[in-house]
Amino acid sequence: MLELLEALLASTLDYAPALVFAALGATLSERAGVVSLHVEGLMRTGAFVAAVAALSLPTPLAVCVGMAAAAAVAGVHALLSLRLRADQVISGMALNLVALSLFSFLLEARFSPTGTPPIAQLSRHGLPALEGVPLLRALNGHTALTWLALALPFALSFLLYRTAWGLRVRAVGEAPAAVATLGVSVAGLRAACVVGGGLLAGLGGAVLSTSTLDRFEQHMPAGLGFMALAAMVFGRWSPLGAFGAAVFFAAGNALRVGLASSAPGVLAVVPQGVLMALPYALTLGVLAVQGGRGQAPAALGQPYDPEHR
């Protein structure tokens, strides 16, 4: 039983980081009032660019390159939605379509239709002291990014709720006009959050190709970006809530995969597909119960025009 729990925890910790980083990225950008449907495309960008960079660079550096590339894509979203007043939903979906086709094209043009050649994965670490502790030893044998995924939500929560900058970010998502009266640039602050969200979502994608697997595969991230959005909504647009939801979804996935291999009888009663639909169905259920816009920032998706009040 204990071993089973440890295996489940270890598998959750492998699956969760990508989802956690992407959900945090989406949360940061949406708290500033900018819709982030482009998370899927950002993850794909981060995953592809990190894997390709890792073919010639040390992998940790390659992860940073992947993050930078995703931040650049997020920059396009900021330009379109903040400077050019494009519809944020349209801009996000357009970037998803571009990322989907662009990296399929580059993948096939440079490598093979299915994936890049294998790269050196990020190294895995562990604390020798934890080796003897039951349950907690499942924390060992993961990359540094897993540890970061456990710490970053608290850092982002502190930043958003305990610093002056965070107060401004939250305010710019609720009442941008009020922030503008303080002499703060609404567009500048929002752009910073969108690009910062891009860095985080890119990191989430890079996890997939440098830690979870050792290459970029054609279908990455296969909808994880949308599951990250579900985690953000389920977590009520707060970093810790999104973190909790992401870990919850990841644990559910670990449980499903674990059941498939160790207790297929259970899956005859509750089919895999039904379990796979659960994260989204639960998120819908929460929204339906809460009603209205849920806990979404009040000015989410509305371009700020200083000349209109």
Partner 1 sequence: MADGRLARALPSLLAVTAALGACFVALAAALGDAGLAAEAFGQMALGGFGDVPRWLSTGDAAAVLRPLGESAGKASVLLLAGLSVAVAFQVGLFNIGAQGQLLWGGLAAAVVGAAVQLPPALHLPVCLLAAAAAGAAWALLPTALKLRRGVHEVISTIMLNWVAVALVENWLVVGPLQGPAGAGTAEVHPSAVMPRLLGESSRLNLGLPLSLAAAAAVAAWLLRTTHGLETRAVGRGQEAARAAGLPVEGRTWTAMAVAGALAGLAGAVLVLGSELRYPGRLAAPYGFDGIAMALIGGNHPLGVAASSLLFGALRAGGTRMQLLGVHRGFPELIQGLALLFVAARLGWAWLLLRRKETPRA
Q: Interface residues with partner 1 (CB under 8 A)?
A: 35, 37, 76, 80, 83-87, 89-91, 93-98, 100-102, 104-105, 107-109, 113, 223, 226-227, 229-230, 233, 271-274, 276-277, 279-281, 283-284, 287-288, 291-294, 296
Which residue, 166 or 294, has its beta carbon nearer to partner 1? 294
Beta-carbon-side half-sphere exposure of residue 285 (alpha carbons within 13 Å): 6
Which residue, 90 or 167, has its beta carbon nearer to partner 1? 90
8-state DSSP, 136: G
**Can you tell me the distance from the alpha carbon of 207 to that of 29, in angstroms, rounded to the nearest whole number?**
20
* Of residues 40, 78, 48, the one with CA closest to residue 228: 40
Which residue, 206 or 227, has its beta carbon nearer to partner 1? 227
The CB-of-90 to partner 1 minimum distance in angstroms stands at 5
The CB-of-148 to partner 1 minimum distance in angstroms stands at 27
The CB-of-15 to partner 1 minimum distance in angstroms stands at 16
- Please say whether the beta carbons of 11 and 251 come within 8 A: no
The CB-of-227 to partner 1 minimum distance in angstroms stands at 7
How far is the first Cα of the chain from the last one, in angstroms, to the nearest whole number?
61
Residues 6+ apart with CB under 8 A from 233: 283, 286, 287, 294, 296
- Omega of the bond leading into 113 within 30 degrees of 0 (cis): no
Which residue, 94 or 122, has its beta carbon nearer to partner 1? 94
Beta-carbon-side half-sphere exposure of residue 97 (alpha carbons within 13 Å): 6
Q: At residue 48, what is the residue type? A: F
Angle between helices 164-174 and 2-31 (to 10 degrees): 70
Neighbouring C-beta atoms of residue 183, cutoff 10 Å = 6
The CB-of-262 to partner 1 minimum distance in angstroms stands at 19
The CB-of-164 to partner 1 minimum distance in angstroms stands at 31
